[in-house]
Copies of this chain bind each other. A is one copy, B any other.
Amino acid sequence: MQNFTYFNSTRLVFGRGAENDTGRIARDIMGRCGKVLLIYGGGSIKRTGLYDRVMKSLEDAGLTVIEKRGVQPNPHMGLVRETVDWMRDQGVGLVLAVGGGSVIDTAKAVAAGLEYEGDCWDFFEGKAKLEKALPVLAVLTLPAAGSEQSIRCVITHHGTKTGVGAECLRPKAAIVNPELFMTLPKHLIAAGVVDMMSHIMERYFSATTETAYVDAQAEAALRTALEFGPKVWENPKDYDSWCQIGLVGSFAHNGYFGMGRVEDWACHAIEHELSGWNDAIVHGMGLAVVIPAWMRYVSKKHPARFVQFAVNVLGIEKQDDDARTIELGIAKLCGFYQSLGMPITLRELGAADCPIESLARHCCRSGRVGHLEPLDAGDVTEILISAR
């Protein structure tokens, strides 16, 4: 195991009606009354009544609210810049995201931009170090990205999805009421389950050894997702099952399952090329295509970890031949994805015509991706071709 620091400073406020505490929590974070910038997506939070409940809670706490709506999936830098320009020097004290990962990531980028004199794309390009941001508070409507407890923020700009991570971006509080997930469309429920599992898997598929504690915690969380993912997909009104999925998703990306080891993140790097190339691609659906193809490719060089995954997570009986155990594991994972209506090929994803070689080159523009097996553009090309 490697030396590490783990610091998860997000207050998780979880359960029925939790959003009604938004105002009190926001005020506690700011330490005073003040101006809240509320960021959200389309009209769904108005249709469900969530908008009204959050607004009432903010007003009851004596807070002033300015709204910015219109965040799209795979959120763009344009909206971030527009919001920062509009809000600069307006005395905003906190950025409140009401939505899923795209809304929360937009809020994080805006929170960083409002504390920076230059263009906050500098942080994504590595031209400036991100050390200061306004406090972010998240009311989660879609368990998937884990952004509500994470230090990460992914924004698309000119077709390039770029992530940045900084402690100051971690939301001060995450408000998670599983009741809010009951109206999600099935394909987003499934893509969310794929995404949250991938955040654990990107940490689990590591070359670092002697990590039994985090391995066992990760395996248990993945089994929980395998058990309860289909339940919420089948019956989105199942509050108790949503509680389990909500917890998997929220802890998946806060660093807990990565303690003491090098993480991989090749699958995310590859998938970001797909959903960067075409905004209409849902990130979790892209991952369902990339992950099995990546597993088939990388497991040839690093079989042990994939055998452990097949046995401990997917419940495959260990075969005499490791390759067979791994094959059965990947097949079971694919079957799981398919049972949730997820694509497992580029064709099914609607990306049969994606420019594989150019995406692979772009993916590796700063060097190899992944740690368990660092991949160059040739490797990524092979992986994507095998996913056709």
Which A residues form the contact surface with B (CB < 8 A)? Answer: 1-18, 210, 212-214, 216-217, 219-221, 223-224, 227-228, 240, 243-244, 247-248, 259-260
Query: A7 to chain B: which residues have CB within 8 Å?
Result: 10-12
Cα A4 to Cα B217 with chains together (Å): 21
Flag if B213 contacts A247 (CB, 8 Å). Answer: yes
Beyond the given A12-B259, A247-B260, could you list 17 further A-B residue pairs with CB under 8 A, ordered by the A residue number?
A: A1-B15, A3-B14, A4-B14, A4-B15, A7-B11, A14-B260, A15-B260, A210-B240, A210-B243, A212-B228, A212-B244, A213-B244, A214-B247, A216-B220, A216-B221, A217-B220, A220-B220
Query: A228 to chain B: which residues have CB within 8 Å?
Result: 212
Flag if B1 contacts A5 (CB, 8 Å). Answer: no
Flag if A14 contacts B259 (CB, 8 Å). Answer: yes
Of A3, A220, A227, A247, the most chain B CB neighbours within 10 A belong to A220
Cα A8 to Cα B255 with chains together (Å): 13
Query: A223 to chain B: which residues have CB within 8 Å?
Result: 216
Least Cβ–Cβ distance between A107 and chain B, in angstroms: 20
Q: Specify the chain B residue showing the minimal Cβ separation from A216.
A: B220
Q: Specify the chain B residue showing the minimal Cβ separation from A212.
A: B244
Q: Specify the chain B residue showing the minimal Cβ separation from A222.
A: B216
Flag if A5 contacts B16 (CB, 8 Å). Answer: no
3 smallest beta-carbon distances between A and B, as pairs: A3-B15, A210-B240, A220-B220
Q: What are 21 of the A-B contact pairs (CB < 8 Å)?
A: A1-B15, A1-B240, A2-B15, A3-B16, A5-B14, A6-B12, A7-B10, A7-B11, A12-B259, A15-B260, A213-B224, A213-B243, A213-B248, A214-B247, A216-B220, A216-B221, A217-B220, A217-B221, A219-B220, A243-B260, A247-B260
